[in-house]
Structure 1
């Protein structure tokens, strides 16, 4: 490659708007950008964990394979194409299918654990934390999970109270101190979005 890829990390709580922001940045950068979601790197559940899947905390760092995540980002940063695993949420394991991720000038790693791993974080050129009111996050999560994932409101709220909110307080919110930019309201914050795009456009092919 004629350039060193520019790695962007985008994190925030569940339903904070980080995915929408990431997608908008990728659309603005077009073919110059590859987007990777940290959810691709969920670990396969063991038979014992599958027996108690309702008790499994998918919002805890232990649920993620950071070694594979680091390996994937490292290879992309060094100009290599990578087969990124597709996680099968129905069976709680990686499927036999992959997404071919190609190196690009801009690489985005987004997700609740995007800034958690020190080795990955140290490779990043820009770290963004999307900060949205917790009540708004819960409301968005209820709408998403009931309309798109067929879940009932009670189960969504129970999971939020038991796993999602505690994980945010313990593991995700502390990552704010590493952020270069903190964006209230995510992709809805047009001013912040425009500033980020202007900054990234100025770095194209440099």
Structure 2
């Protein structure tokens, strides 16, 4: 099975998850989505308070090597057990998700273009950008509504790690993207990617039928 791997990156609150989820909603089970966030390293040895102080916006906070290994396994036709991260606990959960190979895999995350090894795996690289004010407002709403965070903690984390790490590790990777879009709601970009993925899936299905016939 030929697999096309698409990377969708961008700063926190940029709209990358919105763009990714629009594609997932449209194609359903025909595409596979993997979130880099689920590869945050486990810290069972630390207390909750200690885990709160970790710089989660630094590349070292993630097990990117494991993601690279998993993507290579999927490309070779093997299923993987993807970890699941619990943001309310600041720790990886005991749960895993079995992900099977597919013709299109979308990987979404803030730092996915920062690693050269991971970057080289992507066939298509998309960077979603947005105004900094919009990004912080979206992050505040998300963290309060979905992750049970307090406003003061969100602001402190943003100023001490999120903002400086963005300009150090995230923003520079825009230069390696094949496509840069200015919103997760960009309909022109969505239509372009929709058409591209439809073509990939069509060719993949034809190849599968030819292989069965052989």
TM-score by length of 1: 0.91
Q: CA contact under 8 A between 1:105 and 1:205: conserved in structure 2?
A: no
2:125 aligned with 1:127:
yes
Structure 2: distance between partners of 1:92 and 1:132? 26
Structure 1: distance between partners of 2:32 and 2:155? 33
Choose from 162, 165, 179 the match for 1:164: 162
Tell me how far 1:191 sits from its aligned partner: 1.3
- 1:176–1:49: structure 2 CA closer, same or farther, 3 Å change rule? farther
Q: CA contact under 8 A between 2:43 and 2:92: conserved in structure 1?
A: no
Which residue does the alignment assign to 1:111? 109
Unaligned runs of at least 5 residues, structure 2:
204-214
Structure 2: distance between partners of 1:167 and 1:49? 24
Structure 2: distance between partners of 1:40 and 1:147? 19
Can you list the C-alpha shifts for 1:53-85, whole angstroms capped at 9, x where unaligned?
Answer: 332101110100111111111111111111111
Tell me how far 1:130 sits from its aligned partner: 0.3
TM-score by length of 2: 0.88
Matched position secondary structure for 2:29: helix
Which residue does the alignment assign to 2:179? 181
Tell me how far 1:142 sits from its aligned partner: 1.3
| Count of paired positions | 203
What value does the CA root-mean-square deviation take over the aligned residues?
1.7
Matched position secondary structure for 2:34: strand
Which residue does the alignment assign to 1:192? 189
Can you list the C-alpha shifts for 1:19-58, whole angstroms capped at 9, x where unaligned?
Answer: 1111111222222211000011111126357553332101
- 1:63–1:179: structure 2 CA closer, same or farther, 3 Å change rule? same
Can you list the C-alpha shifts for 1:124-169, whole angstroms capped at 9, x where unaligned?
Answer: 1100000011100011111112223332322211111111111110
- 1:48–1:81: structure 2 CA closer, same or farther, 3 Å change rule? closer
Unaligned runs of at least 5 residues, structure 1:
none
- 1:152–1:12: structure 2 CA closer, same or farther, 3 Å change rule? same
Choose from 71, 79, 92 the match for 1:94: 92
Q: CA contact under 8 A between 1:49 and 1:56: conserved in structure 2?
A: no
